[in-house]
Amino acid sequence: PLCVRGRGRAPGQRVTGREADHRVRMDYFGAQGPGSLLGSGGGRLPGAPQANPGQVVVNSRPPGADEVYHLVQDLRISEHRENALLELSKRRESLTDLAPILWHSFGTIVALIQEIVCIYPQLSPPPTLTAPASNRVCNSLALLQCVASHPETRPLFLK
């Protein structure tokens, strides 16, 4: 069934630390890593600092970016989805790259659509839609609207 909750992980189980960061990046960029989206860019993101041999480059992502990636990852975990929807929806106007992150992250769009589809039975007579379910679906719709209105993801979304 489409509305199964808690698939893939035991309740409360969460990937943390280096493994979570690696999974989020691989989900966003695909199995080949950042270079797979760039074609012949040498495996480097545009504007990313170059390292000389033996030099360590500090991660140049803006503060809070890790939190955004973790929230996007939490959309796929049903126990964490409600909070992730709320937080991402609150920040959608201030995060210019949120739409591409949502679109290119594995399973994220499916999770958003799942939230919408799951409330349909609660709308039929007698209506049983609860306030939390209503908030989840509204936040899901807001994030899908973010994807649909972003210049990079709009054509992909409409296909």
**pLDDT, averaged across the chain:** 74
Report pLDDT digits (tens) over 68-111.
Answer: 999 999 999 989 999 999 999 999 999 999 999 999 999 999 99
- As a whole number, mean pLDDT of residues 9-24 equals 46
CB proximity list for 128: less than 8 A, separation 6 or greater: 122
Q: State the Cα–Cα distance between residues 3 and 111, nearest whole angstrom.
A: 10
Q: State the Cα–Cα distance between residues 107 and 140, nearest whole angstrom.
A: 14
- Taking the CA atoms of 115, 117, 123 and 127 in sequence, report the sign of the dihedral they define: negative
Q: State the Cα–Cα distance between residues 111 and 147, nearest whole angstrom.
A: 14
Pick the CATH number of 17-38+62-158 from 3.20.20.80, 1.10.1040.10, 3.40.640.10, 1.25.10.10: 1.25.10.10
Residue-range domain boundaries for the chain: 17-38+62-158
- Tokens 């991402």 belong to which residue? 88
Closest C-alpha to 152, from 113, 105, 83, 98: 98
